[in-house]
A = this chain, B = another copy of it.
Amino acid sequence: MGSTFGHLFRVTTFGESHGGGVGVVIDGCPPLVEISAAEIQRELDRRRPGQSKITTPRKEADACEILSGVFEGRTTGTPIAILVRNKDTRSQDYTEMIQAYRPSHADATYDAKYGIRNWQGGGRASARETIGRVAAGAIAKKILQQAAGVEIIGYVKRIQHLEAVVDPHTVTLEQVESNIVRCPDQEAAVKMIDLIEQIRLNQDSIGGVVELVARNVPKGLGEPVFDKLEADLAKGIMSLPATKGFEIGSGFAGT
State the A residues within 8 Å of B (CB): 1-5, 7-8, 10, 12-16, 19-23, 25, 27-28, 31-32, 65-71, 74, 76-81, 83, 106, 109-110, 112-118, 123-125, 129, 158-160, 206-209, 219-220, 222-228, 230-239, 243-252, 254-255
Chain B, residue nearest A65 (CB): B20
Closest CB of chain B to A122's CB: distance in Å? 11
Q: Chain B residues with Cβ under 8 A from A3's Cβ?
A: 25, 27, 78-79, 224-226
Q: Which residues of B contact A70 (CB under 8 A)?
A: 19
Each complex incorporates copies of this chain amounting to: 4
Find chain B residues with CB under 8 A from A81 CB.
14-15, 20-21, 23
Given contacts A19-B67, A228-B238, contact A219 B112 (CB under 8 A): yes
Closest B residue to A23 by CB, please name it.
B81
A78 adjacent to B251 (CB under 8 Å): no
Assess whether B255 is in contact with A158, with CB atoms less than 8 Å apart. yes
Asked if residues A7 and B4 are in contact (CB atoms below 8 Å), the reply is: no
Q: Report chain B residues within 8 Å CB of A252.
A: 209, 244-245, 247, 252
20 pairs, CB–CB < 8 Å, chain A vs chain B: A2-B222, A2-B223, A3-B226, A14-B25, A16-B76, A19-B70, A20-B66, A20-B68, A20-B81, A23-B81, A32-B114, A71-B118, A124-B224, A226-B236, A230-B243, A234-B237, A244-B250, A244-B251, A244-B252, A247-B252
A125 to B225, CA, bound (A): 8
Task: Count chain B CB atoms within 10 A of each CB in A8, A223, A234 and give the residue with the most.
Answer: A234
Q: Write out the residue numbers on chain B whose beta carbons fall within 8 Å of the beta carbon of A12.
A: 4, 12, 25, 27, 79
Q: A7-B7, A81-B14 are in contact. Are A76 and B129 (CB under 8 A)?
A: no
Complex: A117 Cα to B32 Cα, angstroms = 10
Cβ contact within 8 Å between B247 and A245: yes
Q: Which residue of B lies closest to A252 (CB)?
A: B245
Q: Provide the residues of chain B in CB contact with A115, threshold 8 Å.
A: 31-32
Query: Shortest CB–CB separation between residue A212 and chain B, in angstroms?
Result: 14
Q: In the complex, which residues of chain B have a beta carbon less than 8 angstroms from the beta carbon of A251?
A: 244-245
With A255-B158, A255-B159 in contact, do A14 and B79 touch (Cβ < 8 Å)?
yes
Q: Which residues of B contact A231 (CB under 8 A)?
A: 234-236, 238-239
Residues of B contacting A106 in the complex (Cβ-Cβ under 8 angstroms): 224
In angstroms, Cα B250 to Cα A245, docked, is 9
